Structure 1
């Protein structure tokens, strides 16, 4: 199967679990606003990683279904709150939740998804998962939610400075984006009854593709097309401190450094071509691509201790997909 077939194979089962959980929400407006983004689409990349990680260590995927659904609910909660904080108008090609229902109900929808994710994960005990494993998985998800908040706060703090280092950037994207992907693979391994070495291997795999995922997002912003629902170069217009910007600012001479700062502060689409020229002059775009590629290679190497299986092969394909995707 190709990557999209792999993701589609799990999406329907996950959606059934999610809909069953959210259908209990009242009033109707809270239910509708909570399920809105989930019904809008999404690749279900993170929950697929959970199920595949479970299978890769010899577990049955149905044992990890509630955990996979919990991961997707956590991801969706973070998107709803991100859109409110960033005042974004759209998500997945549709009006953002807060644009349809208003900010107060959107906040409640995000909060409901957050709570439901823990409810679902705790209910894994009903599927004959050992209590100790459920507790371990809950701890992983708890830590991930804390990191998501810290990562978002760091990202916001970076808006007011141009003195961000590469290490600071990598720490921020790991917390904001990478850690939930790490949690996806780690929890899947736990639910599958993995050994400590197997859990660590899948944790490393998740961390590295999580880092690559965000770097690739930044790359797509500069090199993609507007059919993905986001104007090309919008990160530059918004003055975001992506890895490419951080690298260019570090390497540039004073004149180019100061000019790039001036451009990023302009908040105007007209700056995109000149800003791109500076990034290309210092090899910033190639550096980011190389960094993402190195992360993907490291993620694959981490899987070497796992036995050969279709699930392991699928994890390899998903690692490549992170690097090659266009949206």
Structure 2
């Protein structure tokens, strides 16, 4: 079994739920803008995790499709708004929503999708799932949405700030990336009828693979082939972005090397990428980053011991490995 097969297996059901949810939006221009990114592909990792966690605790996958669709809609809303803030005109190889419909309509599309997510969760069949569990799953999603916004605000606040501590950076990526993945795994366990021990373990599993996912992105930015990651190597360096490698290097570097790295980050110059990578290597930042991701995944897999053996559990183990084995 491959992760890509698992993703394909569940994405069709989730796509149907999303299409049903968005087809009633009026006017049609808002409907088209809202549906644009949902039709542009994407890994659909988060909704697959909802369904797998539901199944892993003995639940029926059909009961989790509404919540899985909701999680994907929340993720999509965040991408639409991110693209507006970052002024990115492309997403998943297609023009971003604001590039086609303009910023006002894109903001409305994001807001509509956000609302539709919770409508979808409320439509979960209460004959199969206790209403209390649906409410707890919604609470997890709401908390993740708040953290997502907090994480984005922290990320914006880091721009031009070169004294970010590792703890601050890890808190930012937890809120911006890992919180929603943790909510996905927790919600799936809730919908599936898991025990408190299983719910807590799967929520932490989601947090850890979410952290590893973002840290792996930092890592891939400097070790991958441009064709594999779909963007120039070192693009984070060129943008002057705060990554774990930058934070680690700045905390360990001599005054001269620190000054050099800060200079590079402020130049927006692709020709200086190799110089930055050389500094990362000098202070062991690349290996350090990779090791944190590996440790997070190792711990995440150990948490799955609360589950009985099943295909879903095996798939969750594969997911954890996929996070650090992927090349883009």
TM-score, scaled to structure 2: 0.98
Q: Does the aligned pair in 2 maintain the 1:63–1:127 contact within 8 Å?
A: no
Q: Distance in 1 between matches of 2:10 and 2:290?
A: 29
Q: Distance in 2 between matches of 1:302 and 1:243?
A: 25
Q: Distance in 2 between matches of 1:78 and 1:238?
A: 21
Q: Distance in 1 between matches of 2:28 and 2:279?
A: 51
1:89 aligns with 2:89: yes
Q: Paired residue for 2:112?
A: 112
Q: Paired residue for 2:259?
A: 258
Q: Deviations over 1:195-236 (max 9, x none)?
A: 100001101100100000000111122222333332221100
Q: Does the aligned pair in 2 maintain the 1:92–1:229 contact within 8 Å?
A: no
Q: Aligned pair in 2 of structure 1 residues 127, 47: CA closer, same or farther (>3 Å)?
A: farther
* Alignment gaps of 5+ in structure 1: none
Pairwise CA RMSD: 0.9
1:24 aligns with 2:20: no
* Alignment gaps of 5+ in structure 2: none
Q: Distance in 1 between matches of 2:277 and 2:265?
A: 11
Q: Deviations over 1:239-280 (max 9, x none)?
A: 111001000000111100111001101112122111111011
Greater than 6 Å deviation, 4+ residue runs: none
Q: Paired residue for 2:57?
A: 57
Q: Distance in 1 between matches of 2:37 and 2:327?
A: 21
Q: Distance in 1 between matches of 2:125 and 2:62?
A: 13
Q: Aligned pair in 2 of structure 1 residues 272, 259: CA closer, same or farther (>3 Å)?
A: same
Offset at residue 27 of structure 1 (A): 1.1
Q: Distance in 2 between matches of 1:2 and 1:326?
A: 15
SS in 1 for 2:163: coil
Q: Aligned pair in 2 of structure 1 residues 225, 94: CA closer, same or farther (>3 Å)?
A: farther
Q: Paired residue for 1:214?
A: 214
Q: Does the aligned pair in 2 maintain the 1:46–1:68 contact within 8 Å?
A: yes
Q: Distance in 2 between matches of 1:58 and 1:234?
A: 43
